[in-house]
């Protein structure tokens, strides 16, 4: 029986991460730096001296069995919480409905209509519309001061655009028209505000005219 021994086989481990452990982008020089060499003791049969050949740079020195590239790991699966069961969802829905009915009664007793609390598609679109207008500085709360948040405005407008795309074919003509009007007005206002920021009005220069 052939005698087995442990040989030390060197293989290179290439670090292909784009960022360091501190979250900084790696320099191109770092990416091209020589990779660290790891030494692994592998049990292998000693090849006959007559048939041994020097290992070239293109010849793999070791074959490592790897898991399938898309095989889900147990750790990744454990990060996804289990959804509530049908019974749990129904119990939560009933509790939510009861709390809503109790709130409606209190609103009615205060002299207001509970229908003011009902959410409709148009009311939802209107809330996003007003949020975007406040970010653009074109609306503000009573007693407050207008402020401009261009990033917030763009994200809200993009949210409306995403809703328009996802609900295509599922809206009534009235809902579709309301949504398209909101998007049109907000996009037009966004362009006007961003243009005003990029090209502010120039202050008038000193008067150089002569008196007649």
At 118, the pLDDT band (50, 70, 90 cuts) reads confident
How much is the pTM?
0.54
Distances (CA, A) of 125 to 52, 62, 150, 154, 195: 76, 61, 19, 15, 25
Strands 37-45 and 4-12: antiparallel
Question: Per-residue pLDDT for 54 more than 50?
Answer: no
The better pLDDT of the pair 165, 55 is held by 165
At a CB cut-off of 8 Å and minimum separation 6, what does 134 contact? 140, 141, 146, 147
Alpha helices per DSSP H over the chain: 28-31, 74-78, 86-109, 121-135, 150-166, 173-198
Structure-derived torsion over alpha carbons of residues 96, 97, 99, 100, reported in degrees to the nearest 10: 120
Core vs surface per residue 149-175: b (16+ CB within 10 A) or e: eeeebbebbeebeebbeeeeeebeeee
Mean pLDDT of 17-36: 48
Q: What percentage of residues in the chain have a pLDDT greater than 70?
A: 58
Name the most confidently modeled range: 4-18, 53-67, 100-114: 100-114
3-state secondary structure 173-205: HHHHHHHHHHHHHHHHHHHHHHHHHHCCCCCCC
């Amino acid at each position: 029986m052939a005698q087995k021994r442990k040989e030390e086989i060197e293989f290179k481990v290439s670090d292909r991460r784009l960022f360091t452990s501190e979250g900084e982008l790696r320099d191109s020089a770092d990416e091209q730096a020589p990779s660290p060499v790891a030494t692994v003791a592998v049990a292998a049969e000693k090849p006959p001296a007559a048939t041994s050949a020097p290992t070239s740079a293109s010849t793999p020195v070791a074959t490592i069995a790897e898991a399938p590239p898309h095989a889900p790991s147990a750790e990744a699966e454990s990060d996804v919480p289990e959804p509530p069961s049908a019974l749990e969802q129904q119990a939560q829905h009933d509790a939510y409905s009861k709390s809503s009915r109790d709130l409606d009664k209190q609103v009615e007793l205060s002299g207001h209509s509970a229908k003011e609390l009902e959410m409709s598609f148009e009311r939802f679109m209107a809330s996003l519309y007003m949020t975007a207008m406040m970010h653009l500085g074109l609306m503000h709360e009573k007693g407050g001061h207008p402020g401009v948040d261009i990033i917030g405005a763009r994200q809200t407008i993009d949210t409306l655009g995403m809703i328009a795309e996802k609900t295509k074919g599922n809206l009534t003509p009235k809902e579709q028209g309301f949504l398209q009007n909101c998007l049109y007005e907000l996009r037009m206002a966004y362009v006007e505000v961003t243009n005003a920021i990029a090209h502010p009005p120039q202050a008038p220069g000193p008067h150089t005219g002569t008196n007649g």
